Amino acid sequence: MEQRHLGRTGLRVSRIGLGTLTWARDTGEHDAADQLKVFRDNGGTLIDTADVYADGGSEYLLGRLLDSLVPRRDLVIATKAGSVPDPDHRFDGSRGHLLAALDASLDRLGTDYVDLWQVHAFDPLTPLDETLQALDIAVSSGRARYVGVSNFCGWQLAKAATWQLAAPGSRTRLASTQMEYSLLQRGIEREVLPAALDLGVGLLPSSPLGRGVLTAKYRHTTPPDSRGASEQLAPFVEPYLDEPASRIVEAVATAADGLAVTPLHVALAWIRDRPGVVAPIVGARTARQLRAALSVEALTLPDEICQALDDVSAPVHRYPDQDWSTL
């Protein structure tokens, strides 16, 4: 699999990442091991997890598989901290919480360092400079090689990157930002993506298959073994089952028929090759599903199909994104 630099850093990662959101919850150790083996055998290196996935179970399961199945040195491990299960305080970006969470992640993963440590979300109740100081400490102490953010809007990303450049003594720079991005969710193109491109921050799209909807499996019914049929996950899928989304899915399916590939391949190839994108993070229930996704490596979409998909999925961006003087 092709390797790409993560933003303006020397860190190289596979251009498809493996997400572990369901590990230790819907995906047991045997299936997780199969996925990790398939991923590595296909040249994958970037594994994405978080301290809140399965209440830490995802990290623990990944740690159990390290070395026994795949050497630690062969993987680029990315995890996150900052989300908390408290309904009154969903995010905690304080220095104390973040560094304690990092130590706990390292313990569960059974490793001395993570390759990429990400702040899971912006905390409006903690001064941003305190959050960023935690990133400095993580890197200077050797517990994290690179750092990034997740779910930061455009001004938050720009403020964080600017603070790092301007703060006396700061040596750490953001390598990445992880955001939901797909043909069904192009909202980051308004401000986040331009900011990331300007700042040299690599983009790691989450939910690149539109929460599974872009595979076209929901075109006619809801498969009983899908997220849409799960009581827990159905609300996660439901926003992308409306009429505008249906038109985009039909366009993806039409393109797939013309190229003799699957809708999954078309949707994943489109997002993988967007400007600023380093590696879409793909989650799978089974090794077979993951293998199908990784086979997209051989596909590059023709320009005319990319343009058609751009047109059918184009978000509405007016003032102030357009030139206001001509309106």
Number of continuous H segments (helices) and E segments (strands) in the chain: 11, 12
Query: CA–CA distance from 157 to each of 56, 80, 317 (Å)?
Result: 26, 16, 20
Burial class (CB in 10 A: 0-12, 13-18, 19+), 130: middle
CB 286 within 8 A of CB 292: no
Q: Tell me how far apart the terminal alpha carbons of the chain are, to the nearest angstrom.
A: 46
β-pairing verdict for 3-5 and 12-14: antiparallel
Of 19, 9, 18, 8, the residue nearest 40 (C-alpha): 18
Catalytically active residues, by annotation? 53
Residues in the chain: 327
